[in-house]
Amino acid sequence: MNWENIYKLALTWVKEAGERIRSSFDQTLNIQTKSNANDLVTNMDKEIEQFFIGKIRESFPDHKILGEEGFGDELKDLEGIAWMIDPIDGTMNFIHQQRNFAISLGIYENGIGRIGIIYDVVHDELYHAFKGKGAYLNDKVLPALSETNIQESIIALNATWVMKNHRIDHNLLIPLVRDARGTRSYGTAALEMIYVATGRVDAYISMRLSPWDFAGGAVIVEELGGIVTNLRGEKLEFLNKDSLLVAKPGLHQTILKDYLKEGKW
Ligand code: 2AM
Ligand code: CA
């Protein structure tokens, strides 16, 4: 398999998709709802996913594709090469703010992340990593992450955890929020993972995400020495929805052990 070629093409397609999104800003969006009134999708989410699928099928007909909007394949396993695509991560932000969203792409081989690409379209910032070959912001190498403690950390999380219908006892998170220096919420898992990768925040927590939300970010964060698991400290499977704990080394262990009771809840 020519991975260099896959990497190069994937980067080109992501940039082209970003250009399409930028040029859509002055057009009227067609907005629909999915599972509930706040679960939104636009014509751009669908068009961008179909753009990727057309390109991948043409160049790599034997690769599998998992896309949020469902135009790809239904994956039963991760054998072979699988592209995991979120055409617009942060759709609600895209609609309301025209910023704070990203294209997210992870390319996996037999369940192992090889390539991660996240494109902050509005800022024209292309984050990418190839496993073992470093992580980059555009052409600039990103430095490895260093350890930090909870008292000096900023934690990204979605405030919906205060609702009691989540799978985790929300009381576990109260001491974490109290002890951290601050919390932030950006509404886009892909960029929140990038903020960990770049040290803008120190950890990111989510109760429930899909594989396309974290597949690209996981490759980039891990390449920089960050730790990516679910909230029980288990490896992600990339086939099902899961919770997410992404953090700098050291801090990940602290959050898991001192606050999340090592997943014993
Ligand atoms: P999306 O914009 O692609 O839907 C918002 O906190 C983050 O969670 C975004 O990355 C968003 O991705 C994701 N998200 C929103 N609703 C979700 C759901 N029902 N299941 C999984 N991920 C979701
Ligand atoms: Ca999406």
Residue-wise pLDDT tens digits, 78-97: 999 999 999 999 999 999 99
The CATH code for residues 150-260 is 3.40.190.80
Ligand in nearest proximity to the CA of 39: 1
Q: Is residue 105 classed exposed, middle or buried when 0-12, 13-18 and 19+ CB atoms within 10 A define those classes? A: buried
Arithmetic mean of pLDDT, 47-66 = 98
Would you say residue 134 has pLDDT above 90?
yes
202 annotated as a binding-site residue: no
CA–centroid distance for 32 within its chain: 23
What are the CA-CA distances from residue 138 to residues 104, 129, 149, 208 (Å)? 15, 10, 29, 29
Cβ atoms of residues 142 and 135 within 8 Å: yes
**pLDDT value for 169:** 83
Please tell me the distance between residue 184's alpha carbon and the centre of ligand 1 in angstroms. Answer: 16
Nearest CA residue ID for atom 9, ligand 1: 188
Distance between CA atoms of residues 113 and 83, nearest Å: 10
CA-wise closest residue to 81 among 101, 56, 55, 104: 56
Q: Which fold has domain 3-141?
A: Fructose-1,6-Bisphosphatase; Chain A, domain 1 (3.30.540)
Q: Give the confidence band of 170 by pLDDT, cuts at 50, 70, 90.
A: confident
Distance between CA atoms of residues 256 and 265, nearest Å: 12
Please tell me the distance between residue 254's alpha carbon and the centre of ligand 2 in angstroms. Answer: 31
Same fold, 3-141 and 150-260: no
**pLDDT value for 165:** 65
Please state the domain extents for the chain: 3-141, 150-260
86 within ligand 1 shell (Cβ under 6 A)? yes
Edge-to-edge strand ranges of the sheet holding 64-67:
64-67, 81-89, 102-109, 112-120, 125-130, 135-137, 140-141
Q: Give the confidence band of 178 by pLDDT, cuts at 50, 70, 90.
A: very high
Arithmetic mean of pLDDT, 250-254 = 97
Distance between CA atoms of residues 111 and 251, nearest Å: 26
* pLDDT, the chain, mean: 96
Single-letter residue type at 207: M
What are the CA-CA distances from residue 190 to residues 81, 118, 143, 181, 183 (Å)? 21, 7, 19, 22, 17
45 within ligand 1 shell (Cβ under 6 A)? no
